[in-house]
A and B are shown apart, each in its own frame.
Chain A
């Protein structure tokens, strides 16, 4: 069994968090609030460190142009008062402009041309055929403006049904992954309790 007080605190808090599974209780709520508070505190400290490291220290070392982003950052706080709200529009504009430009720069090769070329493949394996057919059928499912798609006897409508099934398979895979992910989180906590805290199991196999 661990003698580290930190492990004990983490172990007890884990049990308190899981006590919700039995029923909602005050101890669970206290743990939840503690978690939120710790998260907020950690982010605040990290944000402060980041400003000092990336903004304040370079200014002190003579890189005076770092004053500009620092000033823009301070102007963001203007939005807390109606009289000074206008000040926050300028840094916000800079943030949106830079963010949008950076995202757009890579969006076309990353999400359009890259994905399109990945669909232009030889139809020489079952996987490739399924991939191309599934992509086309799914895209067909999202045609809402063609008359043929509303006609239940049309070939296009039947093809769009294949798209619906492809989507269902994708949602099923996503759900399966969600279950697997949540199970992994639970395993990690039980591993922590049994190994790090109680010392019932050893490390590794």
Chain B
């Protein structure tokens, strides 16, 4: 039997994974979602902000990592606007500007006023150099917003001279620039920093939360779902969690099975010798 499993066509495994993911999406089961302390901390920081506060939100993710990262922005922006917090969107990754544009337009349709409740500064070139410029001079790092108006002329930017004038800086990243660059550039400033990362980057980013350099941490789709749970507003991230659990269970099964087969074959070869 083990030999048959070893030689199993991998396309069968792909098909099983597809079914395991698609089935709970079509027919949700509602498995419980645990919430990590890092997500709770992120939620509490946002929840402690006051109406009218201005936060900076950086979309430093690519299209490839978007499905893992964009739900962070969607969930936290929902929380921001529920509380009347104003948002300055910016991006230090070219593709990130597409996501910020999309989210700003979505909230405009919901009645938020561009320039007062939110603005989109757009893409600022230079990666870490760009972040350094924005941190020191948010209104001057890019002279105009994506709609051609001077950034400094928007009412939302009134009183914003450096990054410490923001109530919070959130930055969601799929790579560089990411938490490493942001923590370096925010050194010496007092503004709370909330990173969100693609799941793969999670273990590298946790030390910044443990050291207090980040006030919370969101890792991948799972934490977006946790954030939705805390807000009591289940969305697409929450809906995806059953699929994620099913896929993980199957992968764990494969890893265990693979190890059993490996050790069994090793023993068999040793016996034959």
Interface residues, chain A, CB within 8 Å of chain B? 21-22, 39, 42-43, 46-47, 50, 53-54, 57-58, 63, 95, 98-99, 102-103, 105-107, 109-111, 114-115, 117-118, 131, 170, 173-174, 177-181, 183-191, 194-195, 200-201, 203-205
Residue A194 contacts which of B25, B66, B94, B97 (CB distance < 8 angstroms)? B25
Q: Besides the contacts A42-B98, A109-B187, A181-B198, what 19 more A-B pairs have beta carbons closer than 8 Å?
A: A53-B143, A54-B125, A57-B143, A98-B129, A102-B184, A106-B185, A107-B184, A114-B183, A114-B208, A179-B251, A180-B199, A181-B65, A183-B251, A184-B220, A187-B67, A190-B22, A194-B22, A201-B239, A205-B238
Complex partner residue of B200 from A98, A117, A118, A177, CB under 8 angstroms: A177
Residues of B with C-beta under 8 A to A187:
21, 25, 67, 221, 240, 243-244, 247
Judging by beta carbons under 8 Å apart, are B186 and A205 in contact? Answer: no
- By a CB distance below 8 angstroms, the chain B residues around A174 are 200, 203-204
Decide yes or no whether B188 CB sits under 8 A from chain A.
yes
For the complex, is B258 an interface residue (Cβ under 8 Å from A)? Answer: no
Contact B67 A185 (CB under 8 A): yes
Please, how many angstroms separate the alpha-carbon atoms of A54 and B99 in the complex? 20
CB of A183 within 8 A of CB of B247, answer yes
A50–B123 touching, CB < 8 Å:
yes
CB pair A43 B243 closer than 8 Å = no
A89–B236 alpha-carbon span in the complex (Å): 49
- The chain B residues found within 8 Å of chain A, CB to CB, are 11, 14, 17-18, 21-22, 25-26, 28, 30, 63-68, 94-95, 97-98, 122-125, 128-129, 132, 142-144, 148, 180-181, 183-188, 198-204, 207-208, 210-213, 219-222, 234-236, 238-240, 243-244, 247-248, 251
Which of the listed residues A43, A98, A204 has the most CB atoms from chain B within 10 Å of its own CB? A204
Contact A110 B11 (CB under 8 A): no
Chain B interface, DSSP helix/strand/loop, else mixed: helix
Q: Report yes or no: B184 in contact with A170, Cβ–Cβ below 8 A.
A: no
What separation, in Å, do the CA atoms of A181 and B201 have in the docked complex? 9
Instruction: For the complex formed, measure the closest distance between the CB of B149 and the CB atoms of chain A, giving whole angstroms.
Output: 11
B18 & A190 in contact (Cβ 8 Å cutoff)? yes
Is the pair B212, A118 in contact by a Cβ cutoff of 8 Å? yes
| Cβ contacts under 8 Å, B11 to chain A | 21-22
Contact B236 A204 (CB under 8 A): yes
Q: Hey, which chain A residues are within 8 Å of B68, CB to CB?
A: 181, 184-185, 188
Cα(A41)–Cα(B129), bound, Å? 24
Alpha-carbon distance between A203 and B228 when the two chains are bound, in angstroms: 14
Say yes or no: A181 contacts B25, CB within 8 Å: no
Residue of B nearest to A121 (CB): B210
Residues of A contacting B199 in the complex (Cβ-Cβ under 8 angstroms): 177-178, 180-181, 184
CB closest residue in chain A, given B143: A58
Are A53 and B239 in contact, CB atoms less than 8 angstroms apart? Answer: no
Shortest Cβ gap from B266 to chain A (Å): 20
Q: Which of A53, A98, A184 has the most chain B CB atoms closer than 10 A to its own CB?
A: A184
Q: Report the Cα distance A189→B68, complex, angstroms.
A: 11
Which residues of A lie under 8 Å from residue B236 when comparing CB positions? 191, 203-204
B187 touches A106 (CB 8 A): yes
Interface contact A103-B128, CB-CB below 8 Å: yes
Residue from B63, B125, B210, B221 within 8 A of A184 (CB atoms): B221
Query: What are 14 A-B pairs with beta-carbon distances under 8 A?
Result: A42-B94, A50-B125, A53-B122, A54-B143, A54-B144, A98-B129, A110-B184, A118-B212, A180-B199, A184-B199, A185-B68, A189-B67, A194-B26, A204-B239
Cα A200 to Cα B24 with chains together (Å): 12
Known pairs A21-B14, A43-B94, A106-B183; A170 contacts B234 (CB<8 A): no
A178 to B248, CA, bound (A): 12
